[in-house]
Structure 1
Amino acid sequence: MTAPLRLAKADYLPSEQMPVAVAERTSQPSFPPHVHEFNEIVLVWRGNGLHVMNDRPWLVTCGDIFYISASDCHSYESVNELALDNIIYCPERFQLSLDWQQLLPPADSSAWRLTTRGMALARGVIQQLEQESRKSDVLSRQLTEALFLQLALVLKRHRYASDRAWQMPEGEQLDLLMAAIQGQIALPFDLATFCAQHQLSERALKQLFRQQTGMTVGHYLRQLQLCQAKHLLRTSECLIGEVAARCGFDDSNYFSVVFTRETGMTPSGWRQRFVRSPQLHTGSEKA
């Protein structure tokens, strides 16, 4: 197996003293598995794609946040007009006496979403952060760290885990919709019913969703289901029928058809890719 790429601090930070840098990706291409000599926060602004982190696939679109440590391995696949910012930071270079562990999520809670209000606030801070982090004087270094603190506080206040929809503020139409879809991918989702419950315009919400994500609601849900199916096939011993049911498919045969069409492999074939063959002691490998 090929070792992942390792990205160096010196290639992204302007000096050995600067603790933070911003790598803007207005059109993030597909990128192979890699690790870093630094930590980073990934904030997705628009478009969509597949973000594979520590072998788990995540469908990402506007408002998604990932907190990535130096030991995490991740990659980007199947990108479609994906725009994001990478906020690169080196905790060992911080000089403010703060408990950063209280400001940033723990390692086992890396994937979050950001409210629409939070995205607007974060964008302004990141723009200032990008300008100051390019400089090398002492004052700019101090201001960069202060701006990173401000960003961390904004993200903490306005982020939420996708499985905790009850934390959603009222009035955030796209956020409400995302939370509803992500919170119950094993159950049928009816957009008309959702809009009626929340007194929203179905047509306007469809247009907003497509404008922000580049996908229809149905396509987004289907990709979420397939990401979950890939994860379960790799990490569990569930039967194919149980995987199908847990991912919202009533018919396991239909699930197999959809999975094969989307991935080019059957569910059992996908699972077999990750089954380690026993070490051969003598003789040749069986066909």
Structure 2
Amino acid sequence: MKKYYKHTIKNIVQIKNIVTIEYLELPVDYVYPSEKHEFWELVYIDKGSIFYYIDGAPTFMSEGDLFFLSPYQQHSIKGNNERSSNIFVLCFNSVSPFLSMLHNYKTKLQRSEKGILTKLLEEAENTFALPVRKNASYLENSRFGGEQMIKLYMELFLITILRKKNSSKEGNAFFIVDNVAEEIVSSVIAAMKKQVYEKIYIDEICEDIHYSRSYVSKLFKEQTGKSIITYFNELKITEAKKLIRETSCNMAEISDRLNFSDPRYFNLLFKKITKMTPIQYKNSIHRV
């Protein structure tokens, strides 16, 4: 029997969730209040112009402009007070590290790129009752496979824009994407080391580096083999060993300094990680 080989397809960009699909016709004095969220936002100016404020700084966008907003960036939209504008807004979740290349990326769309967005919007109009915001309401006679087609058009569009950015003067970006995960994990570890004497708030760390908690947690586990909390607990116990060696603090004082809620929990965690109690460690000869 002839032997066949299966080739695994590499998915460079994958859309996990669709959050918002909307086509808006804005008045000249339109103002969208400032907000931030954990997902990506794509804004395309189909007609007119707007001011797009990112972290307080204005970006002028005119007809044909596209802008990518990363998760957790503060942003708002204002009309130009001269003429009305039509904009297309698409919000989505993705854990692809390649999308970091599109952070605050602004570009003018070519006809072929506009064509993909047109097909995406057409598919959405025949699948959902637009706009799609908090809840997606399906049309009674929605197209077969409509959701999947929307996802495929979104991924096609994102790959097309990534290729465009990489082939332009702006980017040898693909050469540094492999380091994105390492940079994210390094940032998390650096933040944990600064907070070793405090309680850790993972959501705040993720917000500071502009990535979702689920994405950061996944990358961290892949890179270190440990969860963020496990790694942080090990940092605390390493610091506890240092305090035992270098200070005269008793175990309750060390537990308190490292912000453990209960000395008994500190004792149990210390033993779990080092295979000995804090007192046994203090009395041991080999203090690693």
TM band (smaller chain): 0.3 to 0.5
Task: Return the TM-score normalized by structure 1.
Answer: 0.41
TM-score norm. by structure 2 comes to 0.41
Which protein has the larger Cα radius of gyration, Structure 1 or Structure 2?
2
